[in-house]
Amino acid sequence: MKIYYEQDADLSLIQSKKVAVIGYGSQGHAHILNMRDSGVKNVKVGLYEGSPSRKKAEAEGLEVVTPAEAAQWADVIMILIPDEKQAVLYANEIEPHLRAGQHLMFGHGFNVHYNLIRPRADVDVSLSAPKGPGHTLRAQYQMGFGLPGLVAIHQDATGTAKDVALSYSKAIGNTRAGVIETSFREETETDLFGEQAVLCGGIVELIKAGYETLVEAGYAPEMAYFECLHETKLIVDLIYEGGIANMNYSISNTAEYGEYVSGPRIVDSEAKANMKKVLEDIQNGTFARNWVLENQAGAPGFNAMRQRMNSHPIEEVGEKLRGMMHWAQNDRLVDKSRN
């Protein structure tokens, strides 16, 4: 496995290009602001007319144009709008203006891997995918650190696709932590699996089930919140810092013994068998097809599930308790008024 670091990437390549970032959301704002701070001067944001994000980008002094204008102007076009909107954007606003030798980039391989976007053969197509949320990508960069990232090349029409993709990854701070070379397929399938089984789907269900178990047994919701949600970060920080052994070193022997005897009763062989089914659905395209169809129908199921999640009692008690922890409100990663 090849991992690229600062010395392996030439920042001047991306600095010499006209770079358009389509979208100014979680990833978009972080990519363009990190790039600008890395000396990439010729940047524009692509947003539709009337986009609420326009004001936020302009407040940072960025030039905002339409996606079609961005595609006409740029040498490098990075698409960072929601995955489910990219195919329509590409067909209507990008593809008609593409010319040979341009470089099309993605932050996730979803649309290219599942053939929802099929770029013409004479453009470079790559991905530069940070392994973490956009707001963390920005915050880490500003502190002088970086998130790990991935690069992959789908097409190399000019012979320079990888060098430019690595240069882009350096500009957003990923080579500070290390950039792994992968494929669109591997990035897409592992990213979807990670977020569904562990990082988002797995953790959220674990937290909710733990909270509900305690509350249904008569314990105070506040106790259940601190135990099952709040402390998750403190424990994950220890794992992040030095692995599972580091966490086990810090917790009590009683907790460690409970981890060994009770953990496998929760995430048991059935849970692992279900993980394998989730992975199969990702690999055979079932998940992608369902997500596309859901959006074609106006996302009724998605919106209902989002609404149900947002009104779960753990969110209510959490809001109240977090309001008491003023320090946790300072230096927030997500400032919805800015990005």
Ligand X SMILES: NC(=O)C1=CN([C@@H]2O[C@H](COP(=O)(O)OP(=O)(O)OC[C@H]3O[C@@H](n4cnc5c(N)ncnc54)[C@H](OP(=O)(O)O)[C@@H]3O)[C@@H](O)[C@H]2O)C=CC1
Ligand Y SMILES: CC[C@](O)(C(C)=O)C(=O)O
Binding residues for NADP(+): 24-27, 51, 53, 134
Among positions 153-192, residues that touch ligand Y (CB under 6 A) are: 191
Say how many CA atoms lie within 13 Å of 188 toward its Cβ.
Answer: 23
Is 220 in a helix, a strand, or coil? Answer: coil
CA 17 to chain centroid, in Å, comes to 25
- Contacts with ligand Y by CB under 6 A: the residue count is 6
Q: At what angle do helices 286-296 and 269-283 cross, to 10 degrees?
A: 70
CB of 323 to ligand X, least distance (A): 25
Query: Nearer Cβ to ligand X, position 184 or 225?
Result: 184
The 3-class secondary structure across 76-117, one letter per residue, is EEEECCCHHHHHHHHHHHHHHHCCCCCEEEECCCHHHHCCCC
Q: Residues within the annotated binding site for Mg(2+)?
A: 191, 195, 227, 231
Q: At what angle do helices 300-310 and 286-296 cross, to 10 degrees?
A: 90
Mark 160-199 with x for binding to Mg ion (rule: CB under 5 A) and - for no binding: -------------------------------x---x----
Position closest to ligand X via CB: 25
CB of 151 to ligand Y, least distance (A): 15
Q: Select the binding partner of residue 200 from Mg ion, ligand Y, ligand X, none (C-beta < 5 to 8 A, by kind).
A: ligand Y
The label of the residue with tokens 């789907």 reads 201
Applying CB under 6 A, which residues contact ligand X?
A: 22-28, 46-48, 51-53, 67, 80-83, 85, 89, 107-108, 129-130, 133-134
Q: Is 132 in the site for ligand Y (CB under 6 A)?
A: yes
Candidate list 91, 200, 266, 305; residue touching ligand Y; CB under 6 A: 200
Q: Select the binding partner of residue 25 from ligand X, Mg ion, ligand Y, none (C-beta < 5 to 8 A, by kind).
A: ligand X
List the catalytic residues.
108
Q: Report the distance separating Cα 20 and Cα 104, nearest Å.
A: 10
CB of 193 to ligand Y, least distance (A): 10
CB-based contacts of 127, cutoff 8 Å, min separation 6: 105, 106, 107, 108, 109, 112, 150, 151, 152, 154, 165, 184, 187
Query: Nearer Cβ to ligand Y, position 11 or 134?
Result: 134
Site of interaction with ligand Y (CB under 6 A): 132-133, 191, 195, 199-200
